[in-house]
């Protein structure tokens, strides 16, 4: 049993106002396409709204899981079609050039990881989620989430070869 | 070499943080409005009837066109006959809770858990907690190991186990409960490499067992320590670890396993007998965590999703017996886009070998699911209740807790859109949800309580944790029944 959240339209509006940016960015990082990400968030919110009064647990985790589940097809279609130049059009202000290059290379390679690994990395290294929280979104145990993240890092290490050093 | 590996992994972690931060900062929220979400939700309700009409047209057109399209698409397995609805003895009609106060929370002894990172191993009469306290020291997470805790679910009493003086891979080592005993796989392991920067494949894995009857720890034989290993999956006769060997580009090459047999207390290691791409992909993405029982056999189930173009997809289900290293069955099924969108990560399993695909996704409500019988690979389509229909207005689907609370009484039942379905009897049940426990009722959104067991919940925070026990009337006195005809009526609205 989870804690029920308040279920009025005002609660829903307040939640969206406070979380829309974070949800949109999360969706974008797993989708790689701004329009798709916006649609995914919109769909998730539209799906959540009628159930708001009955929703249990953390609505943020609920919506992230909805986005992850709903978006797999779109992301798979797009991930190999995204031009490399689009990977990072903006550089970190003041960062040394070699560090930015590392981030671009690693980030680009992360786009080709299996879907669950990719989602887990975004949750871990963008949202700073605990492994328990990652497991809640992915629908797996905390230990599994830890393993998925670890496996993704090992894959990236293999794919980067000597480039990350 | 170890330092170099750890440095490279830390570099990748840092690069990911920078990359995500920079990329996320480019996202604006233009066009994303709460009004639009609410309007979309309302519009969906209005378009139900239009959707039904369109579906009827599509069915008619599809019948005419489908034969020409089918050869270009994966061939699904033949739908099987509907499971038998015959029941040897008449069952009484269930009508829901027989009395108003059908559940009660009562205060239970405090829990002495102070671990911030733990694993839980369910045993026959209680639950073991193995963990420690994670702290960050000079930029690295470190773990302070804590004693193993055990709660007896008959009395809710907690006890502390002596801890074996062995290294653990991390705060929460791999832990498996079997009967009343605890098996603990400890030592340096792959996870340590990420979080503590240690060598990836130091051969220091150890298996320890805590025997409840004697209250003593015993060190058993050790498995081989390899890279790329996943978690332990506990089955009836033992537990298994599955690992994937990958090439330099991260592509899975082979799936290997270590199987510990409870009866002989020995390890068996080798390559998984099925090295098909579906199994390799499933193993690589850890899509095998849930053990499943098929005709009394306790098996590993590999689940592999293939996303179709431009829509839809397929799911491949492979059952494997690590005790004999034999693939029991592999069955693939084409999925409609509706089911595909709804089913990722939402499989339900039930004895004697049923899998429900596409049971629920709140963001994409669906009334169609696919029911696979793993015994012969046949499948059938299952109409599930729309969560917004009259059935849910009378009895909101909230049965997920019940299968955990009544594992024996509800064995064989699947949870579909929050309702219970028994594929053998074809019986649908609704079960109400108990009100929030005292800790839940006091929590703000975003805080957490922890479910120790289906009957025991504790407020998460500084130890000792206040806990509450849930007592519920027998399931036969709280469940209500509805028919497939009612579902059809429900979904037409």
A-chain residue closest to B452, CA distance: A1
- Work out the average pLDDT over B60-80: 34
Distance CA A19, CA B329 (A): 45
**Nearest chain B CA: its distance from A124 CA (Å):** 9
A5 vs B227: CB contact, 8 Å cut-off? no
Burial B280-309 (b: 16+ CB within 10 A, else e): bbbbbbbbbbebbbbeebbbbbbbbbbbbe
Distance CA A142, CA B134 (A): 14
**Which A residues, 101 through 160, put their C-beta within 8 Å of a C-beta on chain B?**
102-107, 110, 113-117, 121-122, 125-126, 131, 138-144, 146-151, 153-160
pLDDT at residue B37 above 80? no
Query: Going edge to edge, which strands form the sheet with B313-321?
Result: B291-294, B297-307, B313-321, B326-335
**Structural domains in chain A?**
1-82 (1.10.1740), 83-165 (1.10.10.10)
**Nearest chain B CA: its distance from A115 CA (Å):** 9
**Nearest chain A CA: its distance from B38 CA (Å):** 6
A158 vs B119: CB contact, 8 Å cut-off? no
Give the range with max mean pLDDT: A31-35, B173-177, B259-263. B259-263
Distance CA B427, CA B419 (A): 11
Who among B12, B37, B388 is closest to A160 (CB)? B12
Q: pLDDT tens-digit profile of B280-336?
A: 988 876 677 678 999 999 999 998 877 666 667 788 999 999 999 999 999 998 887
Distances (CA, A) of B435 to A56, B124, B127, B457: 11, 27, 24, 13
pLDDT bracket for residue B266 (50, 70, 90)? very high
A-chain residue closest to B312, CA distance: A73
Of residues B79 and B485, more confidence is placed in: B485
Phi and psi, residue B230, nearest 5°:
-90, -165
pLDDT at residue B85 above 50? no
**Nearest chain B CA: its distance from A60 CA (Å):** 9
pLDDT at residue B125 above 80? yes
Residues of B with CB below 8 A from A164's CB?
8, 11-12, 15
A147 vs B5: CB contact, 8 Å cut-off? no
Give the range with max mean pLDDT: A79-83, B76-80, B262-266. B262-266
- Work out the average pLDDT over B356-362: 63
pLDDT bracket for residue A57 (50, 70, 90)? low
Of residues B269 and A88, more confidence is placed in: B269
Q: pLDDT tens-digit profile of B202-259?
A: 345 778 899 999 998 888 998 876 655 666 789 999 999 888 777 766 677 899 999 9
Decide if B91 contacts B426 (C-beta within 8 A). Answer: no
Residue B68 has a pLDDT of 28
Determine the residue among A43, A73, A85, A127 to mutate to test chain B binding: the one whose Cβ has the most chain B Cβ atoms within 10 Å: A73
ipTM of this model? 0.81
Determine the residue among A151, A152, A153, A155 to mutate to test chain B binding: the one whose Cβ has the most chain B Cβ atoms within 10 Å: A151
Lowest mean pLDDT segment, chosen from A4-13, A135-144, B459-468: A4-13
Residues of A with CB below 8 A from B289's CB?
140-141, 144
Determine the residue among A31, A125, A134 to mutate to test chain B binding: the one whose Cβ has the most chain B Cβ atoms within 10 Å: A125
Q: pLDDT tens-digit profile of B165-211?
A: 555 545 556 789 999 999 987 765 433 332 232 333 334 577 889 99
Residue A54 has a pLDDT of 53
User: Quick check: A163 contacting B, CB < 8 Å?
Assistant: no
Residues of B with CB below 8 A from A37's CB?
27
- Residues B435, B441, B447, B449: what is their CA dihedral angle, to the nearest 10 degrees? -60
Residue B143 has a pLDDT of 57
A100 vs B18: CB contact, 8 Å cut-off? yes
pLDDT at residue A91 above 60? no
Residue A73 has a pLDDT of 36
Residue A14 has a pLDDT of 79
Distance CA A51, CA B362 (A): 8
CA angle B132, B267, B198 (to 5 degrees): 40
Who among B231, B248, B311 is closest to A144 (CB)? B231
**Nearest chain B CA: its distance from A134 CA (Å):** 13
A147 vs B191: CB contact, 8 Å cut-off? yes
pLDDT at residue B273 above 90? yes
B119 vs A154: CB contact, 8 Å cut-off? no
Distance CA B115, CA A116 (A): 27
Lowest mean pLDDT segment, chosen from B34-48, B61-75, B242-256, B325-339: B61-75
Decide if A7 contacts A55 (C-beta within 8 A). Answer: yes
Give the range with max mean pLDDT: B127-136, B384-393, B435-444. B384-393
A-chain residue closest to B365, CA distance: A47
pLDDT at residue B158 above 90? yes
Instruction: Kindly report the average pLDDT of chain B as a whole number.
Output: 75
Give the pairing of strands B378-383 and B368-373: antiparallel
B250 vs A113: CB contact, 8 Å cut-off? yes
The distance of Cα B361 from the centroid of its chain, to the nearest Å, equals: 14
Residues of B with CB below 8 A from A137's CB?
none
A95 vs B447: CB contact, 8 Å cut-off? no
Distances (CA, A) of B335 to B74, B219, B358: 10, 47, 9
pLDDT at residue A34 above 50? yes
**Nearest chain A CA: its distance from B453 CA (Å):** 11
Of residues B205 and B455, more confidence is placed in: B455
pLDDT bracket for residue B369 (50, 70, 90)? confident
B-chain residue closest to A125, CA distance: B17
- Residues A90, A91, A92, A95: what is their CA dihedral angle, to the nearest 10 degrees? -170
Residue B314 has a pLDDT of 83
**Nearest chain A CA: its distance from B284 CA (Å):** 8
A144 vs B289: CB contact, 8 Å cut-off? yes
What is the DSSP annotation of B128-172?
Answer: EEEEEEEEEETTEEEEEE--EEEEETTTTEEEEEPPPS---SSSS
A3 vs B457: CB contact, 8 Å cut-off? no
Residues of A with CB below 8 A from B16's CB?
103, 106-107, 110, 121, 125-126, 156
pLDDT at residue B39 above 60? no
Lowest mean pLDDT segment, chosen from A49-63, B15-29, B282-296: A49-63
- Work out the average pLDDT over B401-409: 92
């Amino acid at each position: 049993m989870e804690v029920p959240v308040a279920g009025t339209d005002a609660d829903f509006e307040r939640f969206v106002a406070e979380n829309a940016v974070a949800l949109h960015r999360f969706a974008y990082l797993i989708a790689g396409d701004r329009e798709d990400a916006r649609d995914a968030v919109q769909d998730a919110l539209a799906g959540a709204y009628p159930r708001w009064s009955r929703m249990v647990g953390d609505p943020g985790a609920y919506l992230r899981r909805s986005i992850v589940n709903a978006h797999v097809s779109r992301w798979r279609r797009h991930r190999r079609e995204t031009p490399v130049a689009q990977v990072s059009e903006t550089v970190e202000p003041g960062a040394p050039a070699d560090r930015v290059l590392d981030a671009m290379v690693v980030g680009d390679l992360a786009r080709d990881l299996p879907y669950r690994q990719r989602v887990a990395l975004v949750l871990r290294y963008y949202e700073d989620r605990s492994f328990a929280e990652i497991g809640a979104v992915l629908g797996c145990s905390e230990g599994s989430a830890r393993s998925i993240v670890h496996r993704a890092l090992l894959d990236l290490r293999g794919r980067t070869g000597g480039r990350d050093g | 070499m170890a330092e170099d590996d750890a440095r490279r992994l830390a570099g990748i972690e840092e690069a990911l943080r920078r990359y995500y931060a920079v990329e996320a900062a480019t996202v604006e929220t233009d066009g994303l409005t709460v009004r639009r979400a609410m309007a979309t939700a309302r519009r969906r309700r209005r378009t139900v009837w239009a959707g039904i009409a369109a579906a009827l047209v599509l069915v008619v057109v599809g019948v005419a066109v489908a034969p020409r399209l089918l050869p270009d698409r994966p061939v699904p397995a033949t739908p099987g006959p509907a499971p038998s609805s015959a029941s040897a003895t008449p069952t009484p009609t269930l009508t829901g809770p027989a009395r108003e106060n059908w559940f009660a929370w009562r205060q239970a002894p405090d829990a002495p858990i102070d671990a911030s990172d733990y694993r839980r191993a369910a045993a026959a009469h209680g639950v073991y907690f193995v963990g420690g306290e994670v702290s960050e020291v000079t930029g690295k997470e470190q773990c302070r190991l804590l004693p193993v805790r055990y709660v007896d679910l008959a009395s809710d009493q907690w006890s502390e186990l002596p801890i074996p003086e062995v290294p653990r891979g991390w705060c929460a080592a791999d832990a498996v409960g079997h009967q009343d005993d605890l098996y603990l796989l400890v030592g340096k392991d792959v996870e340590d490499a990420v979080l503590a920067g240690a060598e990836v494949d130091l051969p220091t894995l150890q298996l320890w067992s805590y025997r409840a009857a004697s209250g003593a720890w015993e060190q058993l034989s050790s498995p081989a320590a390899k890279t790329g290993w996943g978690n332990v999956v506990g089955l009836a006769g033992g537990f298994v670890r599955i690992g994937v060997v990958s090439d330099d580009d991260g592509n899975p090459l082979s799936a290997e396993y270590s199987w510990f047999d409870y009866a002989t207390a020995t390890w068996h290691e080798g390559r998984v007998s099925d090295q098909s791409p579906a199994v390799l992909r499933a193993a690589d993405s850890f899509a095998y965590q849930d053990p499943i029982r098929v005709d009394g056999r306790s098996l590993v189930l590999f689940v592999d999703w293939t996303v179709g173009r431009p829509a839809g997809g397929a799911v491949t289900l492979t059952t494997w017996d690590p005790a004999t290293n034999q693939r029991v069955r592999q069955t693939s099924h084409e999925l409609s886009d509706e089911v595909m969108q709804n089913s990722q990560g939402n499989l339900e399993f039930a004895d004697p070998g049923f899998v429900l695909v596409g049971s629920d996704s709140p963001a994409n409500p669906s009334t169609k699911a696919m029911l696979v019988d793993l015994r012969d690979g046949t499948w059938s389509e299952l109409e599930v209740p729309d969560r917004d229909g009259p059935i849910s207005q009378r009895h909101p689907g909230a049965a997920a807790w019940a299968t955990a609370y009544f594992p024996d009484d509800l064995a064989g039942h699947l949870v579909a859109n929050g309702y219970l379905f028994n594929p053998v009897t074809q019986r649908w049940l609704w079960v109400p949800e108990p009100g929030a426990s005292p800790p839940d009722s006091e929590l703000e959104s975003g805080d957490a309580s922890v479910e120790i067991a289906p009957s025991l919940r504790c407020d998460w925070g500084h130890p000792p944790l206040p806990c509450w026990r849930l007592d519920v009337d027998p399931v036969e006195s709280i469940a209500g029944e509805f028919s497939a005809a009612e579902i059809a009526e429900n979904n037409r609205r």
